[in-house]
Amino acid sequence: MGDFVRLETTEGIGTIRLERPPMNALNTQVQEELRAAAQAAEQDPDVRAVIVYGGEKVFAAGADITEFTTTSYQDMTVRAAALSSAFDAVARIPKPVVAAITGYALGGGCELALACDWRVVADDAKLGQPEIKLGLIPGAGGTQRLARLVGPARAKDLIFSGRMVDAEEALRIGLADRVAPAADVYETAVELVRPYLNGPALALRAAKLAVDGGLSMDLAAGLSWESQLFAGLFATDDRVEGTTAFVQKRKPKFTGR
């Protein structure tokens, strides 16, 4: 679909593939192609879950720093919001999304992984937010999503130091959800999302909206948001099928409607 990013769909799984060798540097073109791929995955009813994958060698080693050397403050004030929203397009896919990480997920690569619901990490992979070493901070969600995921103290440690963490530490602090040999990372990601492929798509969408949206609300607002989403599911065919199947003691056959 683009020069560096493609969306491939097989048996309900949409794989967003990064293909900008050697390190999948996330330049402006890649960012915009990511946005387009995320929107395509969101809109395609045949896509029931999404894997973001950089290939067998590397997930994404960060932004294309050569672009930064000539970018002025005035330029970045215009571009910064678009950069963040490109990654946010991945976060907003209303379906289960997993990052399959090999090699490196650094800087923007780590931020892209953070935009996913889960992260499957190769046992020899390295993750981190090294922007501080360039005199910068993460600018595509890293300061916000990392803190929400691993807590503010750990996020500050990683962001202030710019250090990389290995798969073992990433798993321990909650940055990784599963660790697998590099050759098995993609298949492990497939196995993680496979249970959702025939699930109630609208209920899964509502659950993701409830959790992600509620994180930016106080408890009372979050509970109200949850109630609205919960009530809305009573208008779906899947709710009828799910509750009827339960009463009839059989496995439900969800249609995503």
83 — pLDDT class (breaks 50, 70, 90):
confident
63 in the same domain as 12: yes
Residues 122 and 144 in one domain: yes
- CATH label of the domain that carries residue 47: 3.90.226.10
> Which domain covers residue 119, as residue numbers?
5-196
Closest to 102 in 3D by CA, of 178, 168, 163, 182: 182
User: What is residue 72's predicted lDDT score, i.e. its pLDDT?
Assistant: 85
User: Which H/E stretch holds residue 53?
Assistant: strand 49-53
- With a pLDDT cut of 90, the percent of the chain lying above it is 89
In a shared domain, residues 151 and 173:
yes
> 255: helix, coil or strand?
coil
Inside any domain, residue 177: yes
**Residue 10 CB coordination number (10 Å):** 9
Residue 241 maps to which CATH number? 1.10.12.10
DSSP for 91-108, please give it: HT-SS-EEEEE-SEEETH
Does residue 252 lie in a domain region? no
Do 176 and 113 sit in the same domain of this protein?
A: yes
Q: Is residue 167 very low, low, confident or very high in pLDDT (cuts 50, 70, 90)?
A: very high
Domain check: are 237 and 113 in the same one? no
118 lies in some domain: yes
- Tell me: the pLDDT tens digits for 174-230? 999 999 999 999 999 999 999 999 999 999 999 999 999 999 999 999 999 999 999
State mean pLDDT over 79-88.
Answer: 88
Query: Which positions are annotated as active-site residues?
Result: 63, 108, 111, 131
The per-residue pLDDT for 69 is 81
Query: Are residues 159 and 56 part of one domain?
Result: yes
Would you call 49 helix, strand, or coil by DSSP? Answer: strand
Question: Can you tell me the distance from the alpha carbon of 139 to that of 128, in angstroms, rounded to the nearest whole number?
Answer: 14
Q: Where are the alpha helices (DSSP H) in the chain?
A: 28-43, 65-68, 73-91, 108-114, 142-150, 152-161, 167-173, 185-193, 201-214, 219-232, 237-247
Q: What is the pTM of this model?
A: 0.94
Q: Which tens digits make up the pLDDT trace of 149-162?
A: 999 999 999 999 99
Amino acid 106: pLDDT: 97
Burial of 244 (0-12, 13-18, 19+ CB in 10 A): exposed
Domain-located, residue 256 = no
Give how many domains the chain has, as a whole number: 2
257 within some domain:
no
Residues 48/69, Cβ–Cβ less than 8 Å: no
Query: Do 82 and 206 share a domain, yes or no?
Result: no
Whether residues 53 and 90 share a domain: the answer is yes
- State whether the Cα torsion 66-68-72-77 is positive or negative: positive
Q: Are residues 181 and 217 in the same domain?
A: no
* 49, 162: one domain: yes
- 120 and 173 together in one domain: yes
